[in-house]
Amino acid sequence: MERSLILIKPDGVQRGLVGPILGRFEARGLKIVALRLVQVPTELAERHYAVHQGKPFYEGLVEYITSSPVVAMVLEGTNAVAAVRKTVGATRSFEADPGTIRGDLALEVGRNLVHASDAPETAEEEIALWFRDDDLVDYSRDTDAWIFEEGR
Ligand code: DAT
Ligand code: MG
């Protein structure tokens, strides 16, 4: 089973979209294995976005993600990283397809509601950055066999 790190960014929390956004992931069958509300310290924001350091939008990005709480979560499922990215939609919200979170609920690149890991390797690094090992809950759902062909 693959895992991905997802953040509902400050605009999602402020706009009251935590439920609808989380609901889309749940409805797709992804399993919540960790979840918490976080007022992001600048140091964590800088480490999370280290790959973008030096880019023209970097300062704005750190300011945005630290401006108000985010909801951080780890979601699990078959091909979770790719599935979540598809559900989230293109980075530039105005180009995101209808039916995606950004395509339905956002307009701008700098207010694009959600962060999602872009590869299984970065997902592992990001999960370690945002959660301790014992924050991740190992459990099965009674519905797993109806979502995963090899469901437990
Ligand atoms: P994503 O969030 O889709 O993984 P990314 O990792 O390329 O996109 O960039 C991280 C965030 O940085 C993105 O959600 C919004 C911001 N960003 C990216 N490219 C940008 C640009 N050209 N102008 C302004 N903000 C940008
Ligand atoms: Mg990214």
If you average pLDDT over residues 39-66, what whole number do you get? 98
Q: Which of 24, 48, 102, 115 is catalytic?
A: 115
CA angle 60, 64, 67 (to 5 degrees): 135
Per cent of the chain over pLDDT 70 is: 99
Using DSSP's 3-state secondary structure scheme, residue 31 falls into strand
Has 52 been annotated as catalytic? no
* Cα-trace Rg, the chain: 15
Q: What is the mean pLDDT of residues 109-119?
A: 98
| Nearest ligand 1 atom, CA 116 | 4
Task: Tell me how far apart the alpha carbons of residues 115 and 129 are, in angstroms, rounded to a whole number.
Answer: 14
Position in ligand 1 atom list of the atom nearest CA 49: 10
Q: Is the CB of 57 under 6 A from ligand 1?
A: yes
What percent of the chain is predicted at pLDDT more than 90? 98
- Cα-to-centroid distance, 109 and ligand 1 (Å): 6
Nearest CA to 117 among 144, 87, 95?
Answer: 87
Query: Is 48 a residue whose pLDDT tops 60?
Result: yes
Q: Which domains does the chain have, with CATH numbers?
A: 2-39+69-138 (3.30.70.141)
